[in-house]
Structure 1
Amino acid sequence: MRLQVLHLTGQSDPRSCGLSPVQDAFLDGLPVPEEAKVRLNFPYDATLAPYRPVPLWLGSLRHLVLFVRIRLLRGRWARRHRPLVEARLRAADRSLVLCGSIGLDLLGRLDLPPGLLQRLTVVAYGAVATRPPACRTIRVGSRGDHLARWWPHDVEVDAGHLDYLASPELAALCRDLVAELSATRDRA
């Protein structure tokens, strides 16, 4: 596969890596073939349970626990999750990775090989990251996002922390990147 598009966010439900209906709909709006749309989220383990809605307070608590756990476990967390993520990213020549909230931090803490990182373009929306990966990254923020507005960003849209994927500006940015990445691979 030449290009794939995938989500990478924290796990609001650690028993699942299924996409939410909003994440699925966002992929549906992108001009790529169905086989290029990865219908799983981090950690890309198809044996986990399907998507289940999680209350905001519980999802936030689980992200905080994950944020702390990664720092306490250091390399052990990365060694546990890197194989599935790396296999998913190696399934295509290029990947457009849609990182929401702590997803950018998770991607950075996986310590992926430089050669693999060169194949990634990341759109980090509402990004909260102390250790972003060394790859092309476009950070999308919003003054309406009280959690992520203090982190640096390259593009500003009108959104709250949980509704970036409803932003027409974010959708347009991703469609433009899909066109760019598709044209790049066609020239190669």
Structure 2
Amino acid sequence: MLTALIVGVLPVAVWFMIGCALALIVNCPRLGQQRDRIASHADSVVAVVAMVFAAAVFTGVLSGTGMIEQMARYLLIALPESRLPFFSIIVAVLSVPFTFCMSNDVFYFGAMPLLAEAGVQHGIGAMEIARASLLDQPIHMLSPLVPAMYVLIGLPKVDLGDHHRLAIKRALLVCTAVNR
């Protein structure tokens, strides 16, 4: 299965379905057992699929309408000249709420090219801006737009709000420590 994935014989989604079917047949040979296994994970699967569709619509609206590019332009217009030497730090700080509230695709393919270009125009390398934008990943992984979050909180039946109250503080400390 791994070799076929690497070679690219079929699309990943097809291999995933084949792998799931084989795993069910091998691990749960009776139809009743298979039905129980699928039903036990149905809640988290439905939530993840619904969230993926909602995130895709949100991403499409943000990128398709040009909103994210305009947000980046307004940020650059509003930024005083005296703050430009600290632009990479500003990008690192702003990437925390931006990637929490929007998908990685929208932020990294929509806003980052504009921010990197602005950094280069003011003497800050694009690579430095790119590194600064990655420091938010502990917070991004807690975003409601990350499908894995719903699987991870669904299995132990943890409330998303409770998880955020506990984990966001710690993730912010990690972002701050890495940012130094």
Higher strand fraction: Structure 1 or Structure 2? 1
Calculate the TM-score normalised by the size of structure 1.
0.34
Structure with larger Rg: 2
